[in-house]
Structure 1
Amino acid sequence: MVMPFSKRDRYGYAEIVYAYEAPQTIGLLAKRTKIDSDLLLPIPENSKYSLPQWAAYARYFTAWDNWRIAHRCWSTQMEDQDPGDHLVFGWGGGVVLAELQLAKRAGFRVAMTAGSDARLAELGRLGITGVDRRLFPHLTNDPDNPPSDPASVASYRTSEKEFLRTINALSGGAGVAIFVDNMGAPLYKATVKAMARQGVITTVGWKQGMRTYNLRASECINRHLHVNTHVWRYDDCATIRDQQEQTAWIPSIDPAGIYDFDDVERLAEDYSKGRVESYFPLYRVNKA
């Protein structure tokens, strides 16, 4: 497994990510490449799990690190609380799915959004409450260009009201204790409104927008903590891998959903158009 550490700080955390933002590195859309040996982490010998299952490791490694920090931050203010009385919620995605599995194991109530019947069924199979995002289709809100016409404003308010009603029901009226928000700007207004007091907004991505806005007085009064992480710590690589192997914290992968190397372009198109049901879309370089 390729560890994405092109440059690390003195504590081992990633500063620049291999093949993403690091100069003079290349991605993995090639059948042959060269990679520094210290970036290769072996799969456990005689692993109980398949290569396609391990191929989703990056989402899980990222989730492990983000959840570790977010959970500890929440606990600093709520150390005497029973997690079973509190809700961890996330906008849909593979990293969020992995984090919510950890949150569930820690005893929290867990729920996340999904936009298809297949994904809602998958969440149910994993013991995660699925929230159909089609129930609030107009929830996105561009903070730099908010809607001004009455119809758009009304549509947003209707969706926001339904979303907050759902959160209220799932949390017993308390709001979200830990909100995993890897979407960013267009959904951030709804994220903040859904938060519980002493809640944590945790972020390890910015899929739909990097710039978010806070009313700092409200965040202070509500004692909200904001966690921002990136990748994970190099020295934790083997630890996370071993936890996956030992605790079955690893995805199920349908072999029929794996794309061949020559179909990568089709995979990108299917993903962009929402035709990929898996939270972990994969392609194989070599035939098994």
Structure 2
Amino acid sequence: MHAITIPEPGGPEALVWAEVPDPEPGEGEVLVDVAASAVNRADLLQRQGFYDPPPGASPYPGLECSGRISAVGPGVSGWAVGDKVCALLGGGGYAEKVPVPTGQLLPVPEGVGLEEAAGLPEVTCTVWSNVFMVAHLRPGETLLVHGGSSGIGTLAIQLAKAVGARVAVTAGSAAKLERCAELGADILINYREQDFVEELRTATDGEGADVILDNMGAKYLERNVTSLAVNGRLAIIGMQGGTKGELNLAALLAKRGAVTATSLRARPPAEKAAIVAAVREHVWPLIAEGRVRAVVDSTVPMRDAAEAHRAMDASGHIGKILLKP
């Protein structure tokens, strides 16, 4: 088969489309012929040598895919050759074939195209696990999403609205904010021109956000704590703004707030399987009803993954960038 390899870490040009050995499904795994994969920020970090795959995972980038099952390994039940699936991966999505533990498989939702489904696993699992399983967003509460026009952001807006929450977003342009509004965002903040702390305070009559989904990390830590409502929960899922920040414990105590930081890729298989099962139970029906969907910015040939990485680096996209073998 062919896959995107990284002979040496570096810029987008480090991604090389090469012939590699065909994988075989192991115990409890199926082999998926990949119809599409999707680009995530973690892939850019791996390309640069900053985010190695977890032990036992494929060395090729790619944290999600869609396709058809072409082989079934020992000990597998409930799945068959020919099934249309999408999957959460520890790696290997930038390839023509990838083995997947059955606990990380999802059926392609009703009404969703096979290629489009590649943009669902990572964002649905990230948002559901952080916003709902950890931060417990409830109807009537306010969610602040940083990077509202990203793949994760566009999905978070839709899920939060589907459960009856109010949604505030930050984004870097009027066009991105307009797209967030179309998806249901109630409070629109241009972080290049506005202070999100003040804008959120005004929009919520001084109460703040009950839950904040943050991809920036250190750069936003102090302002995020300031923006929390009483009993608010801050969920940190990225470090685009740095890794080390100062946490004012007095401010956090005054809010009776909580700060959590999670990653998805390095979780053990049982935890990933539990998240995937929860997504299938709670999110897949919303997708089948048409209330939630993947927002796809563009589709790029997988051999041209470098082009897709440059596009994500430039941050001009809205939603997911897909790769097609």
Please report the TM-score for the alignment, with normalisation by the length of structure 2. Answer: 0.63
Residue 91 to residue 202, structure 1, CA distance change in 2 (3 Å): same
Q: How does 1:22-33 map to 2 (within 5 A)?
A: 22-24=54-56, 25-27=58-60, 28=92, 30-33=94-97
1:273 counterpart residue number: 314
| 2:155 matches 1:98 | yes
More displaced stretch, 169-178 vs 90-99: 90-99
CA drift at 1:218: 2.5
Kindly indicate whether the alpha-carbon contact (under 8 Å) linking 1:204 and 1:228 is maintained by their aligned counterparts in 2: yes
Closer, same or farther: CA 204–123 of 1 in aligned 2, 3 Å: same
1:251-270 paired onto structure 2 within 5 Å:
251-253=294-296, 257-270=298-311
Q: Contact 2:142 / 2:165 at 8 angstroms: preserved in 1?
A: yes
Number of the residue aligned with 1:89? 144
Q: Does 1:241 align with 2:305?
A: no
Does the 8 Å CA contact 1:59/1:94 hold for their aligned counterparts? Answer: yes
Given residue 240 of structure 2, which amino acid in structure 1 is its aligned partner? K
User: CA–CA distance in 1 between the matches of 2:151 and 2:185?
Assistant: 13
Instruction: Give the deviation of 1:113 after TM superposition.
Output: 0.9
Q: Following superposition of structure 1 onto structure 2, how do residues 35-74 of structure 1 map, counting pairs within 5 Å?
A: 35-38=99-102, 41-44=105-108, 47-56=110-119, 57-72=121-136
The Cα of 1:125 is off from its aligned counterpart by 1.0
Determine the C-alpha separation between the residues in 1 that align with 2:170 and 2:253.
28
Q: CA deviation at 1:53?
A: 2.7
Q: Aligned with 1:271: secondary structure?
A: helix
Does 1:171 pair with 2:204?
Answer: yes
Letter in 2 for 1:131: I
Q: Distance in 1 between matches of 2:301 and 2:254?
A: 52
**Structure 1: distance between partners of 2:98 and 2:151:** 28
**1:175 Cα deviation after fit:** 1.4
Match of 1:118 in 2: 175
CA change 1:190–1:37 in 2 (3 A) is closer
Tell me the TM-score normalized by structure 1: 0.70
Comparing both chains, which one has the higher relative contact order based on Cα–Cα distances under 8 Å and sequence gaps of 6 or more?
Answer: 1
4+ residue runs over 4 A deviation = none
> Which residue does the alignment assign to 2:250?
217
Q: Contact 2:135–2:235 at 8 Å: present in 1 too?
A: no
**CA-based RMSD:** 2.7
In 1, the alpha carbon distance for the partners of 2:180 and 2:190 equals 11
Partner SS state of residue 201, structure 1: strand
How many residues align structurally? 230
Q: Tell me, what secondary structure is at the counterpart of 2:105? A: coil
In structure 2, stretches of 5+ residues that fail to align are 1-45, 61-91, 265-270
Aligned residue for 2:168, secondary structure, equals strand
Instruction: Extract unaligned runs of 5+ from structure 1.
Output: 1-17, 76-82, 137-161
- Of Structure 1 and Structure 2, which has the larger fraction of its residues in helix? 1
Distance in 2 of aligned mates of 1:186 and 1:118:
24
What whole-Å deviation, never above 9, does each CA across 1:222-250 have from its counterpart, x for those lacking one?
Answer: 20112233326313424413544321222
- The aligned residue for residue 63 of structure 2 is none
Q: 1:33 to 1:26 in 2, by over 3 A?
A: farther
**What whole-Å deviation, never above 9, does each CA across 1:132-176 have from its counterpart, x for those lacking one?**
22214xxxxxxxxxxxxxxxxxxxxxxxxx332211122111112
Distance 2:163 2:94 in 1: 40
Q: Which residue of 2 aligns with 1:133?
A: 191
| Partner-residue secondary structure (3-state), 2:241 | coil
In 2: Cα distance, 1:32 partner to 1:60 partner: 23
- Percent of aligned pairs with the same amino acid: 21
Inter-CA distance 44–97: structure 2 relative to 1 (3 Å threshold): closer
Structure 2 match to 1:182: 215
Give the Cα–Cα distance (whole angstroms) in 2 for the partners of residues 37 and 219 of structure 1. 40
Pairwise CA distance, 1:128: 0.6
**In the TM superposition, what is the alpha-carbon distance from 1:42 to its structure 2 partner?**
4.4
> Cα distance, 1:91 vs. partner?
0.8
